[in-house]
Amino acid sequence: MQQIEEGLTPALDFEKLARSVGSTQVIPVVVQDAESKEVLILAFVNQIALAKTFETRIVTFWSTTRNELWVKGDTSGNRLHLIEARVNCEQNSLLFLVRLEGSGACHTRKSNGDYRKSCFYRTFDGKNLMHISGKI
């Protein structure tokens, strides 16, 4: 996992959903900082996670890796406060505009130990990965 999260060798996982979701019904959620508009994370919700998000206004996902509800920030303290939810034209994905409480939305950390603000800290040109300047 360390090589995938920190490395610069592409290892795109096209089978993740087929392996992990199974019969769980989920839709993708793009999470964006409400102020800066930076995309922080892409995750999934099922109906239970979505209902809990609206009830608490703290973003809750369905973890496709652990097959359980995942309240973002319960472990790290980096909570995502829901400001607004949007649905796409086909109603098969969501966009959450959030206010980040804490230092970052990503579970990985920079070399100084701080959480990364966004999970999208590398560029990809179709063959190679590169760290975005200032995001390492």
Reported as type and span, the H/E element at residue 84 is: strand 79-87
Please give the CATH topology (third level) of the domain spanning 2-103: Ubiquitin-like (UB roll) (3.10.20)
Q: What is the pLDDT of residue 136?
A: 47
Q: Computed from CA positions of residues 15, 19, 23, 24, in that sequence, does the dihedral angle turn out positive or negative?
A: negative
3 state SS for 34-58: CCCCCEEEEEEECHHHHHHHHHHCE
* 55 phi/psi in degrees, rounded to 5: -70, -45
Mean pLDDT for 28-36 is 96
Confidence band of 21 (pLDDT split at 50, 70, 90): low
26 Cβ contact partners less than 8 Å away, ≥ 6 residues apart: 44, 45, 46, 62, 64
Q: What is the pTM of this model?
A: 0.85
